[in-house]
Amino acid sequence: MFSVSKQHLQTALSILLSLVFAVGLWYVVTGSAQVEADVAVRVEYRGLSSGLLVEEGMINSVNVRLRGPAELLRSLHDRDLTYTVDLSEVRRGANVIPLEPGRLLEFKAYEVVSSRPNRLVLEVDALAEKIVPLEASVIPPGENSELRLANVLLEPSFVTVQGPEHIVRTLEKLDVNYDANREAESGPRSVNLAIVAPDLVEVTPPVTTLRYTLTAKTELLDLERLVQLDGGSMSEYTVTPPRVKLRVDVPEARMHDSSYLASIRVLARVPELARGAGARVSVLVMLPPGAHLVDVENLDVQLTRKSVPDEDRPLE
């Protein structure tokens, strides 16, 4: 019984050793097998002159195809590989720069099969700067709205632009666009807006404040009003001229409202006067809400106190 068990044990050990040997052999064979794999290498740039700007052609990474032991290649995928491009020799115009990521120390143990791309074509221009004005382009409320756009202002109204010389020299202004048609109520408005510039052009400051006012649409009316007295009776005084012409800006919606227009009045405040005496007095124009005085023909009138009030004059 004991001899049978010992034989079984020796058999099991032999099987186990064979398995370990097979696994080790597989690891050695596969680990040393020559395979190909693609590795992404991040591209960095240095050495560009402060007076130059790269307009196009720069890339973020280059793809390198390597041949080598499979196990070693697998370890490269976990590493942050960087290839640095020296721009100290570039000049204005087109510059061709070969890419040789195979020279990286990390790739010394491998055969570099290919790299894509294998060169850069960089378009370089001089860096220019100037100050340009901003121009507000605001879409006003629609024709059917009772509101109109007024007092449009940008703060700041000038900015500094910096970028490729051939672009910057053509810039005469920068447009700032906004749609005020979305507003439904009158009053002042203020909104911060990003300044949009051509590609590769940097704007300082990058934001401007648009200020504007939405007011009721108005119409100009030419009116004539009888001068009324404040502090005296018309039977006691003579006013010259008795009527004053006005130009008034009124809301478009009220221009045919008779009661609204009737509230536009001209007053003259009566001073202390002896009978038969007169004086020049300033007129006061009374306006309802929403109306604005544009012009008045006479700023003052001649006020004369009658020697005998009209009610005391004898009937002829």
Q: Return the exposure string of 202-236: e unless at least 16 CB atoms fall within 10 Å of the residue's CB, then b.
A: ebeeeebebebbbbbebeeeeeebebebeebeeeb
10 Å CB burial of residue 250 (0-12, 13-18, 19+) is buried
Instruction: Pick the last residue of a domain from 98, 117, 136.
Output: 117
Instruction: Pick the last residue of a domain from 62, 97, 117.
Output: 117
- Cα dist. 118→62, 102, 111, 243, 296 in Å? 8, 11, 16, 91, 81
Domain extent at residue 93 = 30-117
Read off the tokens for 188: 């002042």
How many domains does one find in the chain? 3
Is 252 a member of any domain? yes
Q: What is the CATH number of the domain that holds 238?
A: 2.170.120.30
Domain co-membership, 64 together with 143 = no
Domain co-membership, 227 together with 211 = no
Domain co-membership, 109 together with 139 = no
Angle (CA) 192-195-200 rounded to 5° is 150
Is 15 a member of any domain? no
Domain co-membership, 224 together with 294 = yes
Each of the 316 residues of the chain gets a pLDDT tens digit; together they read: 444 566 666 676 667 766 665 555 444 444 456 788 888 889 999 999 989 999 999 999 999 888 888 777 777 766 778 889 999 999 999 999 998 887 777 777 788 888 899 999 999 999 999 999 999 999 988 877 888 899 999 999 999 999 999 999 999 999 999 998 877 788 899 999 999 999 999 999 999 999 999 988 888 999 999 999 998 888 899 999 999 999 999 988 888 999 999 999 999 999 998 998 999 999 999 999 989 999 999 889 999 998 876 555 554 5
Instruction: Pick the last residue of a domain from 87, 117, 147.
Output: 117
CB 217 within 8 A of CB 250: no
Q: What is the pTM of this model?
A: 0.58
3-state secondary structure of 15: helix
3-state secondary structure of 230: strand
